[in-house]
Amino acid sequence: MALIVYSGGLDSTVLLHSLAAQGRADAALWIDYGQRHKKEYECAKFNCDKLGVKLDVADLSNLAPLFGANALTDKNTPVPEGDYAEDNMKTTVVPNRNMAMIAIAAARAIALNLDSVAYAAHAGDHALYPDCRPAFADALGEVLKLCHYRPIKLERPFINLDKGDIVKLGASLGVDFSKTWSCYNGATAPCGKCGTCLERRKAFEAAGIKDPLAWGA
């Protein structure tokens, strides 16, 4: 029985569908940490309603000022354009975000008497993000075994897949990719210029599948 850390983005939406197909998507948690791209929530709600998965919301938006200057929670810091390999993408790092989100998700999983927390970490996650590195997740997984009277498992079923593989899996599961969101700018249509937009385009191209979201519309 699993709780999914669910952003409404491409990777976590495929994870939601994958676990639902296995009969293991017991609950999902969307976390508002003050991010500017909150259009993800609309996608999360749509997919959870479609699959009959309970979606809870954790409002941590008041923490945004504590994260300092970064492009995701600070509106005074512009969203950088270009590939993730460029140094300016470091401005999209929200300090310790994954630890905070997974900790809250673990608390909710415990409250719901679930066995695990699942999130969509994958082989293509960038070393640019310290809290996406395997060593971080391995250590956090050990912590979750100790945080309560019974161990909570941290699941990363996509850890050996790249984003193109995830798109292929999503297509096989019937995911409506038009109901996923990847852009950091959070407008009504993807900007097509930020790192996550470019990464999404490459993933669909690698999978040989057309992305239903029109860029720059």
- For residue 195, the domain's CATH number is 3.40.50.620
Quick one: pLDDT at residue 126? 63
- What are 2's two structure tokens? 């699993």
- What are 49's two structure tokens? 């309603």
Overall domain count for the chain? 1
Residue 63 CB burial class (10 angstroms; 0-12, 13-18, ≥19)? middle
The type of residue at 89 is M
Give the whole-angstrom CA distance, residue 70 versus residue 17. Answer: 31
Give the whole-angstrom CA distance, residue 9 versus residue 163. Answer: 12
Confirm whether 87 is domain-assigned. yes
Confirm whether 213 is domain-assigned. no
Quick one: pLDDT at residue 135? 87
Quick one: pLDDT at residue 217? 40
Confirm whether 217 is domain-assigned. no
pTM, full prediction: 0.92
Quick one: pLDDT at residue 215? 60
Q: 153 phi and psi, to 5 degrees?
A: -90, 140
Confirm whether 186 is domain-assigned. yes
Quick one: pLDDT at residue 195? 86
* Non-local CB neighbours of 169 within 8 Å, separated by 6+ positions: 14, 18, 161
Confirm whether 215 is domain-assigned. no
For 4, the 3-state DSSP assignment is strand
Q: Are 173 and 21 in contact (CB under 8 A)?
A: yes
CA 40 vs CA 157, 161, 187: distances in Å: 22, 22, 11
* Non-local CB neighbours of 80 within 8 Å, separated by 6+ positions: 71, 86, 88, 89, 91, 92, 194, 195
Confirm whether 166 is domain-assigned. yes
- Cα end-to-end span (Å), the chain: 40
Strand order in the sheet with 116-118: 54-59, 25-32, 2-5, 116-118, 153-155
In the chain (217 residues long), the average pLDDT of successive 10-residue segments reads 96 98 97 89 97 97 91 87 74 87 97 96 73 87 96 94 95 97 83 89 95 69
Angle between helices 39-51 and 10-21 (to 10 degrees): 10
Confirm whether 216 is domain-assigned. no
Confirm whether 82 is domain-assigned. yes
Could you tell me the residue range of the domain that residue 60 belongs to? 2-207
Quick one: pLDDT at residue 37? 80
